[in-house]
Structure 1
Amino acid sequence: MVPRKSPKLDKAQVVEAALRLLNEVGLEGLSLRLIAKELDVQAPALYWHFKNKQDLLDEMATEMMRRMAADWAGMPSGGDEGADWHEAFRARMRGLREHLLRYRDGAKVYSGTHFTDLSYAAPMEANLRMLTAAGFSSAGAARAWFTAYSYTIGYVIEEQATGGGGAEGARGAGGGQGYDLDARAERLAGYPLAVEAGWEMFRDQGRGFDVGLEAVLVGISVTLRGSGGS
């Protein structure tokens, strides 16, 4: 039997419920059936909007991008006269991290998905123009943006996997929650440098992100600014 579309349910409602539930159950626990229960509809009603979970994840990632784009639109451009492209770039990557941390497993949801509209296009164009105005070639700007973008998403995936992220992450919680660094140190007692590395990598992850981002930006400036990007 073909399910009938509910006039009271639209795609935006489903996505909003999915993002809300994501913080409660995480990516693995999220299902169309659970979302249907949250919305007080039968599960088949959701299939009018999403044929499977991946379709839903694509729309969730797109909604996350829409919200980020709204924030990025108000940020200064490093291409403006007298402006610092480094600081503009830092602000965008910090903003990306903050948005991903608003959701449990937010970086996993966001990575590897396909945007369902062109909401990403205007901010991407603006960010690339920022870099080309600062002396990057178009290829160098593309590589620079993708490098920092990939660093940020990968960092947050690891941060959330070790308990340092999620809905609490954007409110300033330190990294390493749920990851017992003392127990790790005991297991690695014969490897003092590995123990020290754990304290550096898994504690105060906000500071760690900024340190790593600065290394990425310095590398980008040295190797890609003014180059062909290859």
Structure 2
Amino acid sequence: MTRTALQVLDSAGLEQLTLRLLGKELGVQAATIYWHFKNKQELLDEMATLVLAEGAPNLLPARASSEWTAWAAAFGQGLRKTLLGLRDGARMVSGTRLTNTLYMKTVEQIAAQLIASGFTTRQAVVLLSTIYSYTLSFVMEEQAVFPRPGERSPQYDIAERNRSLAAEELPLLRQAGGILFDKFDRRYKEGLDLILRGAAMQFH
């Protein structure tokens, strides 16, 4: 049922996903769906739990490393990859409560590596939660621009945006369009690097 809900999300989007639509997709009465989930939020909790649990291997470094930066960077990059794997993935996960600990076990492993590298528990939690919040909000914006990979929303046409901004009044914001609404891979890595360098200076 949860996997079918993820398929509906991927095809219809978060706003259109309802318990009734899920029931229709499954060929069952709405009452059957409501027996499993009291409301849409409970359904989203299960969906987010499944997505994060199955994406947990993405959060670990590809190669064994003792460098805390490798673990912290892999956490952010892997989370972004997981969220981008599904339409409205970041918005769907935002604000949910996980219903099992599979994803948490991987985060525990990452946090333990940070602590082994000299971080206190609080420092490790602050760093990972900062990366999590940055990644979640970043992907929300990214998926607004590209609802599907390679398909730019017409609302984020850079040339059209530039035509609406007076060059004399807003020269910097005109230049910013290509940075904010294109080449997301590069900007994500640059932002993540700022976080890691800040952590190295403050915590380590």
- Assess same fold via TM > 0.5: yes
Q: How far did 1:53 drift?
A: 0.3
In structure 2, what is the equivalent of residue 55 of structure 1? 42
User: Higher helix proportion, which one?
Assistant: 2
In the alignment, does 2:90 pair up with 1:136? Answer: no
Match of 1:41 in 2: 28
Amino acid at match of 1:21: V
The 5 A counterparts of 1:121-160 are 121-160=104-143
The one-letter amino acid paired with 2:146 is: G
CA deviation vs aligned residue, 1:1-52 (integer Å, no higher than 9, x gap):
xxxxxxxxxxxxx111111111111110101111111111111111121011
Instruction: State the Cα RMSD in Å.
Output: 1.8
Distance 1:42 1:144 in 2: 45
Structure 2 match to 1:182: 159
- Residue 69 of structure 1 deviates from its aligned partner by 1.9
Give how far 1:88 is off. Answer: 2.4
Q: SS state of the match for residue 119, structure 2?
A: coil
The number of residue pairs the alignment matches comes to 201
In 1, Cα distance between the equivalents of 2:56 and 2:182?
Answer: 30
Unaligned 5+ residue runs, structure 1?
A: 1-13, 226-230
Contact 2:5–2:22 (8 Å) recurs in 1:
yes
Bigger shift: 64-73 or 35-44? 64-73
Deviations 1:131-182 (A, max 9, x none): 1111111111111111111111110011112x2254x2xxxx48x5531111
Asked if 1:164 corresponds to 2:146, the answer is: yes
What CA distance in whole angstroms lies between the structure 1 residues aligned with 2:99 and 2:39?
14
Distance in 1 separating the partners of 2:180 and 2:74: 22
Alpha carbons 1:76, 1:88 under 8 Å: kept: no
